[in-house]
Amino acid sequence: MNVRVVDLLRQFELERLEVNLFRGESRDIGSPQVYGGQVLGQALMAAYHTIDGLDVHSLHAYFLRRGDFNRPIVYQVDRSRDGHSFSSRRVIALQNGEQIFTCAASFQRSEQGLDHQSTMPDVPAPETLPDWSRPTPDVAAQLPELLRRMLIRERPIELRPIEPIDYLHRRSGPALERVWFRIPEAVADDDRLHRCLLAYMSDFNLLAASTRPHQGSFAIGDLVMASIDHALWFHRPFRADQWLLYDVESTSASGGRGFSRGSIYSRDGRLVASAAQEGLIRVRRRET
């Protein structure tokens, strides 16, 4: 198995410190702080360790402080409610004695009910698309160091954006972002793990749609972005090691914040999850 995928799966092998207390390893993905998707996925796994026989159907989270990827994160789970059909958990992520993240998750016992969904957009198949998510070496050499470090770093997720990305000549466009993604290796048949992996992957590309209409108005190295909150709803079964389409739209940007919502479809067109996120978006002012 790919060493990057092995390392990713290891991040979800949380150490139990106490009955409701767990510790997870952190990783450097090239960003200045701990990747938000890592904290989302590990917090969900910590909650799952206190749940029996139910599946997560929603998660609502806030990012409170920057996490340090050089240190592990401790997850404290509060067993808010246990019911026959639904159970609720609250998870607090701690580093250096401070809360860096908090989330609430709701779990449901499987049952039948009404069924409808939106239609997946008509897009090219992932196999027909090159990996536009990475700049070529000559383009990467012209990018700011921090951005270059994050873009060229090897990652455990395979991405196939629908549209080409021009990193040097930014042009404004619709507030949309569509990308296929998956874990590129077969993962064990553990539904809990697949949902935690989707939580991990759902933080990629979501906020980027908020910048699309404005890309002609700032240099690529002048943008400061950080997740503020993140919500995720699970609708139907899926596998994180099979292609999923992230169809993202930003409906608003104002007050130094951008808002995006995304629909996640399986290869056969089933809507498997929905996501929403608001994040900080600031343009650095250059001194003259």
Both tokens assigned to 288 = 């003259």
Q: Going by C-beta distance under 8 Å and a sequence separation of 6 or more, which residues neighbour residue 216?
A: 170, 171, 172
Residues forming the active site = 203, 227, 277
Q: Where are the alpha helices (DSSP H) in the chain?
A: 3-10, 36-48, 137-140, 145-152, 191-201
Contact between 72 and 26 (Cβ < 8 Å) = yes
Residue among 112, 111, 104 at smallest CA distance from 87: 104
Quick check: 12 and 42 in contact, CB under 8 A?
A: yes
Distance CA 203, CA 183 (A): 14
- Rounded to the nearest 10 degrees, the angle between the axes of helix 191-201 and helix 36-48 is 160
- Strands 257-266 and 271-283, bridge-based pairing: antiparallel
C-alpha 234/C-alpha 229 separation (Å) is 17
From CA 43, how far away is CA 46, in angstroms rounded?
5
Q: For the chain, report the end-to-end CA distance as a whole number of angstroms.
A: 51
